[in-house]
Chains A and B, each alone.
Chain A
């Protein structure tokens, strides 16, 4: 490819970027919205100020017992990662709040909690149980069951600590019993920040939303006659498409850089371990996304068709691929289907590098598939697009 060919491609790209710079609403949608949404989602799911891992589950607690055991139970819950939110008005008020969907779950510490606890530990109540009623939002059972498990563990620790304090001999005997060890195997990537968790999906989704712009601008040129005028010039059709792709690619790169910047600054995104890998993944993702945009332009005859089709298609791919919903929540067949989307491969690559701390070499297959998607999309667009 000689210098003149590259200069012609660059001319087309530079012109598109110049036009976009003068289109304020397009700038807001390309850069502003992704930044705002990333910030909002990231902040909703973690404390960006503390720089610690994701915040605890907020659980409504109706404390009807003023005793010391209730205080200790709350302390154990906090240690376990639950953020107890006090509710006034007792169990009834708590149930209303849960029913209204204000919280996923709630705990009631009844008036006799401390009394029952002490009686049970001392053996005065026989086999009498200690109760801490749990209220779950039926609309959010998955989170509620997680909270219940964590709370149960916290209560176990509260009971164990008191048993050890009051019956040290028995406790020592218990501690010396044979054990089945379950040693932790350290996996790289533990202690993920909100940025590590959310940014990969956002970067992929927002970059692929550029496809909409690629398709619209190509169709717009055809409708306004400027595409025909370019065809009259001594340049090839592939150069025209490459120029359009490069223009949006530049925007995609700026968008990704901004998201990474926001991620590092506000959501403690970890990129230091694989900056080159992330950069290469970003380029491959942008190439694939813009190629998809070119291909989409071949399926619509009017701007309305293109806008409607790309919006719905990108949303569908966002859900299927796991960029909008974690793939662990998808049914098995959908997880398999997700691998036909470039989004899924891009997400794999980013997740491997950012969350699992893989090397660039090990994520190269993902990047290769992304590049292949881009080439296929570009080739199909070149063959299918009606330039006239």
Chain B
């Protein structure tokens, strides 16, 4: 469930950001803003330019062109104090304990004494490592290391947390800890930039999402608005052949069915696609079809669709209704899957 926030003012404004590495353009003219108190997602496949964008936001990488402005915070040490960064690759000292790791990085941000110790204890509790606080992190599981990696980024109570693929290679328990932690921090007012190539995570956590591909930001809006651009839910119906013994009659029947589907109200898109050949009960091969209908009112469309199929004389093998997601948005925008 997305946390309830009403973000308005921009905390970070990114304008025309570009980064070239020799002949490779890793980030190409990216512009977006992250609003105060929101969880902003950057979604894209590996190599899309998310990490490079984060590096430029954090100031560790100098952009080739473009600007990054943070409301009321100038570039330099003050900006770095306002940002908490959780890198994609683990960045912890394996020979130090969880507590020592936290206290060391907290010290670099100017925390000391009781405040430093207290903050370390708070975060160890938040990420579920209190009982292993004084164990060396070399002995931790991958998920525990990830949680420690996250906690380090929070030691100095930043205004904006940059999370770069924080759940890569994480076990379900640790993923849950990270998820709950991010939600709790956001509900307490922390602004978060969350990059991932897992669309389920981004959908569950983020108020708004920027979709990146090949260094470019190809869409940026709320999850709901992005999905709405697809035109609603998709109904898939697998049907048998309409006239198995006569190819010409089959063609005619399909054309008639297509005409009926197109006439259905609240239906933005309807098509009939060939399905994988299959064997019927008698053991002979047949060529079924997939009827794909996109609609913003599936409850009304389904009975009409079933009637149309029945009227065409086609056996209905299966019927499914699928809500579109960011994966479909990405597919629509780029013609490829996020995991390609």
Q: A23-B95, A233-B80, A234-B77 are in contact. Are A225 and B90 (CB under 8 A)?
A: yes
Footprint of A on B, CB under 8 Å?
A: 58-61, 76-78, 80-81, 83, 85, 87, 89-93, 95-96, 100, 104-105, 107-110, 112, 136, 152
The secondary-structure label for the interface of chain A is: helix
Q: Which of B81, B87, B89, B96 contacts A234 (CB 8 A)?
A: B81
Do A19 and B80 have beta carbons less than 8 Å apart? no
Q: List chain B residues, Cβ under 8 A from A234.
A: 76-78, 80-81, 108-110
Is A235 close to B, CB under 8 A?
A: yes
Bound: A22/B95 CA distance, A = 7
Footprint of B on A, CB under 8 Å?
A: 4, 7-8, 11-12, 15, 18-19, 22-23, 224-226, 228-235, 388
Bound: A388/B60 CA distance, A = 8
A-B contacts counted at CB < 8 A amount to: 63
- Name 26 interchain pairs, CB-CB below 8 A, sorted by A: A4-B110, A8-B107, A8-B108, A11-B104, A15-B96, A15-B104, A18-B100, A19-B96, A22-B136, A225-B89, A225-B91, A226-B91, A226-B92, A226-B93, A228-B60, A228-B87, A228-B91, A229-B105, A232-B60, A233-B105, A234-B76, A234-B110, A235-B77, A235-B108, A388-B60, A388-B61
Q: List chain B residues, Cβ under 8 A from A225.
A: 87, 89-91
Q: List chain B residues, Cβ under 8 A from A12.
A: 108
Do B110 and A232 have beta carbons less than 8 Å apart? no
Q: List chain B residues, Cβ under 8 A from A226.
A: 91-93
For A4, A7, A22, A233, the residue with the greatest tally of chain B CB atoms inside 10 Å of its CB is: A233
Q: Which of B59, B87, B100, B136 contacts A229 (CB 8 A)?
A: B87
The 4 closest A-B pairs by CB, nearest first: A234-B77, A225-B91, A233-B108, A229-B91
Do B78 and A224 have beta carbons less than 8 Å apart? no
| Nearest Cβ on chain A to B299's Cβ, whole angstroms | 51
For A4, A8, A225, A229, the residue with the greatest tally of chain B CB atoms inside 10 Å of its CB is: A229
Bound: A232/B91 CA distance, A = 12
Closest to B61 in A: A388
Bound: A229/B105 CA distance, A = 9
Q: Which of B60, B61, B77, B95 contacts A19 (CB 8 A)?
A: B95
Do A229 and B58 have beta carbons less than 8 Å apart? no
Bound: A234/B136 CA distance, A = 26
Q: List chain A residues, Cβ under 8 A from B58.
A: 232
Q: List chain A residues, Cβ under 8 A from B92.
A: 226
Q: A15-B104, A22-B95 are in contact. Are A7 and B112 (CB under 8 A)?
A: yes
